[in-house]
Structure 1
């Protein structure tokens, strides 16, 4: 259990950011679901609940989701369900339980770059941007490659490009964290393959996606097999208590092929 010495509830993002950077041990408080599993001491927890960051809005060409929105809100939102074959709701539906998903926030899930995050893997397969107080707006892929710094993620923006997407994951038990996650999409003719829980955070298999684009007019089982094999080769896999690297590689090949086949079937 973490130790919290003080709590601040600022009225503006500027004030929240200033409090956050005052001390190294200050931290943003989201739903605190994962924070509770740690043992750190936080001098001042910055509570964002007064900043109006709990919302999901459909602007026609894009969907905007505030950082304090829960994963349960994402799961039940009509606009999110109607986009990309319901990729995001499918990705979060098996995260532990409804009570847990009512607590976990979008901002924490993305900003903390959790390796086991189903949500992050699915977002990476979409045309997603993030917006931060200090860092400004950037693609999710670019954000994941930037060093961790003192900042506040305020929202994510999902551009609604036409196409289809599929999600696959494997767990040792229904309520456990995933031992591997896969999201595949074809949006506006561009393929994306995202693989997470390797056990490190999700990454795009760029070379594998290029093979799918080249073979788009003749998507045979051989092309899918080659893409899956290429993805396993270009991404790294590791060991932890849930699975070995070798097992993850084997699972990745199977889940990637399944997800590609699902997208092709939707077309």
Structure 2
């Protein structure tokens, strides 16, 4: 067995033994399945999240869990769900939604928006709010597709139920228009109104899948704070596939910590962490 991770005190407090070789095995497996590279600093996160799975399966060690993963395909989804990080909020990085509103006003042809990492739904519902506000109605000619690799967060997103503190940063008009407040036993909860829910189609999608079940062209892609988890070659491969799906004057929205200065053959800057396709295209806008 490889060297144990952490201090001797931490090791003594841990329920299961946990070695560097086991951490590395987890990292390799996650990379093979999702393209996500875990940093050395994520060893404690891996332990805490997978320890829950070990307990749930009534196993005795990380080694047993790794063996279980190899022989039980159904556990793969639980493994991915446990290790993918889902940090989100309504109107996170608010300037992007101002840009979205202006883009919708000047590009009347927009038909499809793809939110490529929907997490628990705050981002795609924020997109839907802006679309509804721009058109002045819920019945809009724009399809919003929200995807994520994590099946559990997708279920939460589809339900559209959140603790009231999640919308504390929204203005009163949006809170009143787009959310119902729970009463009685549901006090302290809010629910997205059905009209807004109907504007968003949630689906499970792994960005490493060979085929994406998505319509083309896609006019706007929100893929924020996702690429940072991939190595550069994987980033380029995913970005190229996304751009190939986009309309020639489409809008790509990246996260605040993402920069594609190394991918000028694919995209060109269009504003604060936003880009437009820069691929050579034929007469019909296709690559």
State whether TM-score is above 0.5: no
Q: When the two structures are superposed, what TM-score results if normalisation uses the length of structure 1?
A: 0.27
Hey, which of these two has a bigger chunk of strand by percent? 1
What TM-score comes out, normalization by structure 2 length?
0.26
Larger Cα-atom Rg: 2
Q: Structure 1 or 2: larger helix share?
A: 2
